[in-house]
Amino acid sequence: MALFALKRLGSMILVLFAVSVLTFLIFNVLPSGDPAVRMAGKQPTETQIEAIRVEWGFDQPIYVQYEKTMQNMFSGDMISYFNQLNVVEEIWKGVPRTFALAIGAAIIWMAFAIALGVWSAMRAGGVSDGMLNVFALIGISMPVFWLGALMNQYLGFELTQILGFELFPNGGYVEFSVSPFEWFHHLLLPWFALSVLFIGFYSRVLRANILETMDEDYVRTARAKGLSERRVMLSHVLRNSMISVVTLWGLDFAVVVGGGAILTETVFNLQGVGQYAADAIGQLDQPPIMAVTMFGAFFVVFFNALIDIVYAALDPRIRLQDGDTAL
Amino acid sequence: MSEPLLSVRDLEVSFRTEGGLLQAVDGVSFDLKRGETLSIVGESGCGKSVTAMTLMGLTGGPNARFSGSVKLDGQELLGADDEVMRSIRGDRMSMVFQNPMTSLNPVHRIGNQIVEQIRAHRDVSKKEAMARAVELLDAVGVPDAAQRARSYPHEFSGGMRQRAMIAMALSLEPEILIADEPTTALDVTIQAQILELLKQLNRDFGLTVILITHDLGVVADIADRVAVMYAGRLVETGTLDEIFYDPRHPYSWGLLGSVPRIEGERLARLAQIDGQPPALIDPPPGCRFRERCPHAFGKCGEEPELLSRGETPGHLDRCWLDISERPALRQLPSGLIGLAKPS
């Protein structure tokens, strides 16, 4: 187990290194990516640009620049080329917002996916199953920026006009410390907007898994033991059907927590890490993009490792061994 | 004569399929006395497993249709309330399945799977139930039972898993144990051990057993009575001796003739029954075995009833052949089918 953890840590570091190098290199081959030109303002002279290059070290060999960038990132001295603000501080500002969005949404989409997946599987082939299938497809097909915009317009804005009070606020974020209720209130729409796609997708995957598991011999055994249908479902069918869904959940949660919900955060103006990333991309601002990418990549590799551990807990046939193979 | 423990009358099970109505079990009747071991034999698809599953109330699905009667100690089970069936399953009647490799849930510990069954029927603490589980595992010959109760199924060998399945099935001292091909997936030495265990349970605790199998060797080893099933119907029933020494139905001859024998001349090729059983969707009228029977004649277009046709009242068969001609017909060049009656 100790060796497993060590190996896992090693591969995590390797992946993060590769991600950082790739992101860095992409910037250096990007057209109009030259930060000196962009920083020099409108109609700069060649000497001005050259001065900026020297000052910021853009004239150095690329591996020196990479080293410097990484050093700044980890020491917290990284500065945006666009507005000269400290990148790490800006990310920290967005973290509570992004976490609030990610954790709430992940709970919502998992709860709804389990409920709808089980409901669908129990009524497979029936009318309600067919309707849920259609809804799931619609949910999966709706782009989140469009859905979010609709929610904002109709639930956030027009409904407020009709009702005369704010049932749902029209975007924005309120700190938990300011008002827990308003915090929750403002996150409701973003949570659901982000969850719709995942609910549709997960409930379908879970439904298929449940139907497959219900045909297993051990489920027949469970019934033959005289267990209640509820107990058969929870302890024998659902438990075994959840394994692959938990994997998906871990990875998707990692992406959202790492600032991947760029569209949701932007549409609802939550000003989290994702929105910060969106702004940085719009400005082709290399340091924040580097930092946000690393931030996201960290969560992805971290949750990947975590899932392996959860896997072993869910399925005793998989044991984390000191060798590199499971089973 | 005491009342039979289990009484099955005209049991019919059919499934609505896309091709039409599939009559899987067609008018099966038998009685089972307390402490008796009944073996239901027949080839794959003859309806023996469906019969067993129906007794347990496990033949489900919106497409299944049932008729007839299944009475346990006078209580009607067919069409009984789900809750009633649930309380009987695993408690008064339990079942051991064919494939021990897949019949235990891979994610739960063996001991817990037994505890779960005990606690589904009895109001006992987890600790008491676990003590009982360990006792049971020990009784069915799982070595180091207290330790092994904490193992997962994949840590058990096939034979050990089947022992665990049997321990689980016996956990509430059921009146009837239904074993559906319990040894088919195991290798021969383990088969013998499992059969020995079943015999011992039958002998020591008076356990009533329904054994479903296609293996006549297993039948000879363990059964008191035998029911031969073909294409959803019983074609012959009788005591073990009656079926082995005096088989009456040509299908039974075929089954017995296909078993390799140690004594006598060795054949280059084992006897086989040519052809396939009829489709169970719209089967042709008359005797179901007619198409494959070397002795079929005009009368076989009519359905023969399951009757006693000889001097022994309990030995029933479903064949039109004259009873006095049958011994001659089961004579093959290599010898008599079935066993010669010991003198």
pLDDT at site A300 = 92
Of A117-121, B127-131, B253-257, B317-321, the one with minimum mean pLDDT is B253-257
Mean pLDDT of B216-224: 89
Q: Which of B97, B120, B154 sits opposite A221 (nearest CB)?
A: B97
Side-chain-side CA neighbours of B170 within 13 Å: the count stands at 26
- Regions of chain A where pLDDT drops below 50: 322-327
Contact criterion met (CB below 8 Å) for B37 and B225:
yes
Share of chain A above pLDDT 70, in %: 96
The candidate with the shortest Cα–Cα distance to B51, out of B43, B59, B60, is: B59
* A54 located within any domain: no
* A307 located within any domain: yes
As to burial, measured by CB atoms within 10 angstroms (0-12 exposed, 13-18 middle, 19+ buried), residue B335 is middle
Of B163-167, B256-260, B268-272, the one with minimum mean pLDDT is B268-272
**B109 compared with A327, residue with greater pLDDT:** B109
pLDDT at site B151 = 94
The candidate with the shortest Cα–Cα distance to B326, out of B55, B282, B315, is: B315
Sign of the dihedral through C-alpha A278, A284, A288, A292:
positive
Cα–Cα distance, A294 to A259 (Å, whole number): 10
The candidate with the shortest Cα–Cα distance to B232, out of B87, B2, B5, B15, is: B15
Is the per-residue pLDDT at B1 higher than 60?
no
pLDDT at site B283 = 84
Q: H/E element holding A50?
A: helix A46-56
* A108 located within any domain: yes
Prediction pTM value: 0.81
**ipTM value of the model?**
0.87
- Cβ A225–B89 below 8 Å, yes or no? yes
Cα–Cα distance, A121 to A247 (Å, whole number): 20
pLDDT at site A315 = 83
Is the per-residue pLDDT at B316 higher than 80?
yes
Average pLDDT, chain B: 88
Q: What is the CATH number of the domain that holds A135?
A: 1.10.3720.10
* A4 located within any domain: no
Q: Which residues pair with A9 in a beta bridge?
A: none
Is the per-residue pLDDT at B266 higher than 80?
no
Is the per-residue pLDDT at B205 higher than 90?
no
Mean pLDDT of B111-121: 95
* A269 located within any domain: yes
What would the DSSP string read from start to end of A151-183?
Answer: IIIIIIIIHHHHHSS-SS--S----TTT-HHHH
What residues contact residue A185 under an 8 Å CB cut-off, 6+ apart? A166, A168, A169, A174
pLDDT at site A136 = 93
Structurally, chain A folds into a number of domains equal to: 1
What one-character DSSP code corresponds to residue B273?
-
Share of chain B above pLDDT 90, in %: 55
* A67 located within any domain: no
Q: Which domain holds residue A124?
A: 92-314
Domains and CATH numbers, chain B: 6-223 (3.40.50.300), 229-336 (no CATH)
Q: How confident is the model at residue B35 (pLDDT cuts 50, 70, 90)?
A: very high
* A100 token code pair: 């609030």
What residues contact residue B312 under an 8 Å CB cut-off, 6+ apart? B238, B242
Of A54-58, B65-69, B165-169, the one with minimum mean pLDDT is A54-58
- Cβ A231–B120 below 8 Å, yes or no? yes
Is the per-residue pLDDT at B92 higher than 90?
yes
Of A104-118, B54-68, B288-302, B327-341, the one with minimum mean pLDDT is B327-341
* A24 located within any domain: no
Cα–Cα distance, B315 to B307 (Å, whole number): 8
Using CA atoms, how far residue A85 sits from A78, A196, A272, A284, B240, in Å, is 8, 35, 16, 15, 92
Residue pairs spanning A and B at CB distance below 8 A: 73
- Cβ A225–B154 below 8 Å, yes or no? no
Is the per-residue pLDDT at B191 higher than 60?
yes
**B3 compared with A325, residue with greater pLDDT:** B3
Distance from CA of A134 to the nearest CA of B (A): 24
* A44 located within any domain: no
- Cβ B56–A224 below 8 Å, yes or no? yes
Mutation choice for B interface testing from A225, A231, A242, A310 by most B CBs within 10 A:
A225
- Cβ A224–B95 below 8 Å, yes or no? yes
